[in-house]
Amino acid sequence: MTQTSQLDQLVSACHWIGERGWAPATGGNMSVRQDAEFCLLSESGKDKGSLTRDDFIQVEIASNRVPSGRKPSAETGLHTLIYRLFPEAGAVLHTHTVNSTVLSRVEKGTALELQGYEMQKTLAGQHSHLDCVPIALFDNDQDIDGLAKRIEQFAAQNPLRYGFLLRGHGLTCWGKDVNEARRHLEGLEFLFQCELQRRVLESK
């Protein structure tokens, strides 16, 4: 698959995210890897549901340097961290859904554990509802460099797969390409909705 079509697929994924209300009021950000050195990141402050190819800005993965001088996402440091940690990651999607925002506050621990759901198999390498899939959960922070450091330290000691939740903020997930990142997003979002409803019903 060519880089051009990956960017086109990312633009389509952004529209799909917007249609579902998963990036309200300029929330969310999205990116695609160009090569080992560079990625293309959504411009800060735009409505992510109506982005075009021109709204993606080249960023150097190692340094967060922006050759054009334009302003990519405020959360650029989280995207570039993922591309540094996982050389196989080809696309990153960050959304602000109600389910991920609420569930990440209700869960007080450092991971949201998903178990017992057939839809866990939407995540690459998962083959059974019997396995426990932990989705790492970090306290939100306006200091993105500090947050990226905390996530990097966590990843040095623990497996970090599919995505992570930021408490009261949303989900950041990735895949080997746009298609896989989109499947992970849709699968995780479905699982979060199930888990939220299960907790509500079982607390009665």
CB of 12 to ligand L4RZE5RM, least distance (A): 19
Told to check if 44 binds ligand L4RZE5RM by CB under 6 A, we report yes
Query: What CA–CA distances, in Å, run from 10 to 133, 158, 172, 189?
Result: 26, 29, 15, 18
Do 122 and 58 meet the contact criterion of CB atoms below 8 Å apart? Answer: no
| DSSP structural state of residue 162 | S
SS3 label, residue 137: strand
Residue type, 105: R
Told to check if 50 binds ligand L4RZE5RM by CB under 6 A, we report no
Flag whether 127 is marked binding: no
**Binding residues among 62-121 for ligand L4RZE5RM as defined by CB under 6 A:** 73-75, 94
Cβ closer to ligand L4RZE5RM: 147 or 191?
147
Phi/psi of residue 20, nearest 5 degrees: -85, -5
Task: Name the residues that contact ligand L4RZE5RM, by CB under 6 A.
Answer: 25-29, 42, 44-45, 73-75, 94
Binding-site residue numbers are: 94, 96
